[in-house]
Amino acid sequence: MPADKRHMPQAYSALQVQTPVGRQSEMPELPEVETVKRGLAPAFEGAQILSVDQHRPDLRFAFPEGFVSRLNGRTVSALSRRSKYLLADIDSGDVLVMHLGMSGSFRIENDVSNETPGHFEHPRNRDTKHDHVVFHLKTRDSARARIIYNDPRRFGFMDLIPRMELVDHPLFRDLGLEPLGNDLSGEALARLFRDRKTPLKAALLNQKLIAGLGNIYVCEALWRSGLSPLRPAGTLVTKKGRATQKANLLAENIRETLQDAIKAGGSSLRDHAQTDGTLGYFQHSFAVYGREGDACRTSSCKGTVCRIVQSNRSTFYCPTCQR
Ligand SMILES: [Zn+2]
């Protein structure tokens, strides 16, 4: 086995996959992962894992030792998400950690539906030769279902980590606050950004401050807030370290931007679940992202959306109304 495929936690630090500048990322963003979680939950939660087919020794990383035997016969007690990781709590005390990488997707097959056609913004692969893991389940309604993980580029991975060790695990110990949780507020941003001179966009993308907030949604939330991606993050904090009004507004807009995307995914999720069992990928409609040269959509603004490069990534914003 090549050295980079060995199961080494330190290799996780190489996880940040850079998207070529100017190209829209095909990597699932946080709202997509959240819709995948919501789509999988009815089949996965409370289900007994009857058997697991593991077709390869590795994806991005090697599967953990005894992957199949540690899951066989076990029950999934809960499915949750932290940043872009899906976490299935197993009644053995392990947590099955799943990451979609660039091209990973799940589909659910049962006795009623086992078709896989679909319609996606970024087409997901449906070639069964890229089906790497199959969970055969008895759901909590005693129905049979299969959850299938497909990943042609194999940047995704799965791991089993004891629940007790999760918070100190290299994948999770440095993650910042959850942008969809109750932790995100203007005051929380003020604590994170105090005295920071780094550009606001870079601070928002720093996973140690806020976890899982991607390039697209940072651009969109900054536009909604009328804030320049270039202003120093510390300018959202008063001298006494409290949140400015702009910090409160930004916190609100981050949450709303993500929730709107989840809602949009939620509606297509239902369509997909009826037709093809494929979960969580949906049409995005963005106000600034990918709209270089187009008119700004802020009412009464006559500006034009422009693209700049920050930390090697595209930033889209309107220099007229984002200050
Ligand atoms: Zn504008």
How do residues 43-70 score in pLDDT, each as one tens digit?
899 999 999 999 999 999 999 999 999 9
The share of the chain scoring above pLDDT 70, in percent, equals: 81
Dihedral sign, CA of 29, 61, 165, 16?
negative
Report the run of H or E that residue 225 belongs to, with start and end: helix 215-225
Residue 158, number of CB atoms within 10 A of its CB: 22
What is the reported pLDDT for 125? 65
Residues identified as active-site:
28-29, 84, 313
Distance 217 CA to ligand 1 centre (A): 17
Least confident stretch, 12-16, 32-36, 88-92, 295-299: 12-16
pLDDT per position as a tens digit, 145-173: 999 999 999 999 999 999 999 999 999 99
Residue 248 tokens read as: 């409160």
Q: Could you give the dihedral angle defined by the CA atoms of residues 165, 168, 170 and 175, in that order, rounded to the nearest 10 degrees?
A: 120
Q: Would you place residue 29 in the very low, low, confident or very high pLDDT band (cuts 50, 70, 90)?
A: confident
Residue that has been written with the tokens 């949750």 in this structure? 80
**pLDDT score at 26:** 61
User: 205 vs 120, which has greater pLDDT?
Assistant: 205
> Mean pLDDT of all residues in the chain?
85
Strand 48-54 with 313-317, pairing: unpaired
Cα 95 to Cα 189: distance, rounded to the nearest angstrom: 30
- Report the separation in Å between the CA atom of 295 and the middle of ligand 1, taken as the mean of its atom positions: 8
Per-residue pLDDT, 46: 97
Determine the pLDDT at residue 264: 77
Distance 24 CA to ligand 1 centre (A): 22
pLDDT at 130 over 70: yes
Sorting pLDDT into bands at 50, 70 and 90, what band is 124?
A: low
Taking each helix axis from N to C terminus, what angle separates 30-44 and 245-275, rounded to the nearest 10 degrees? 50
Q: What is the pLDDT of residue 123?
A: 53
pLDDT category at 115 given cuts 50, 70, 90 is very low
- What is the 292 CA–ligand 1 centroid distance (Å)? 12
Task: Quote the ligand 1 centre to 283 CA distance (angstroms).
Answer: 23
Looking at residue 109, its pLDDT comes to 87
Q: pTM here? A: 0.84
Contacts of 52 (CB under 8 A, 6+ apart): 67, 68, 71, 72, 133, 134, 135, 136
CA-CA-CA-CA dihedral for 290, 117, 263, 85, to nearest 10: -80
Q: Is the pLDDT of residue 269 over 90?
A: no
Tell how far the Cα of 23 is from the centroid of ligand 1, in angstroms.
23
The CA 223 to ligand 1 mean position distance, Å, reads 8
pLDDT higher at 273 or 75: 75
Question: Cα–Cα distance between 243 and 265 in angstroms, integer?
Answer: 32
Tokens 């929730």 belong to 259
pLDDT of residue 127: 81
Residue 196 alpha carbon to ligand 1 centre in Å: 26
Task: Tell me: pLDDT of 276 over 90.
Answer: no
Q: Which residue has the higher pLDDT, 282 or 20?
A: 282
Show the CA angle centred on residue 281, arms to residues 33 and 260, nearest 5°. Answer: 70
Instruction: State how far the Cα of 98 lies from the Cα of 311, in Å rounded to an integer.
Output: 27
Residue 20 has pLDDT above 90, yes or no: no
Percent of the chain surpassing pLDDT 90: 65
pLDDT value of position 38: 87
Residues 206, 209, 211, 215, CA torsion sign: negative
The four Cα atoms 179, 183, 184, 185 give a dihedral, to 10 degrees, of 170
Query: Under a CB-based contact definition with an 8 Å cutoff, are residues 57 and 63 in contact?
Result: yes
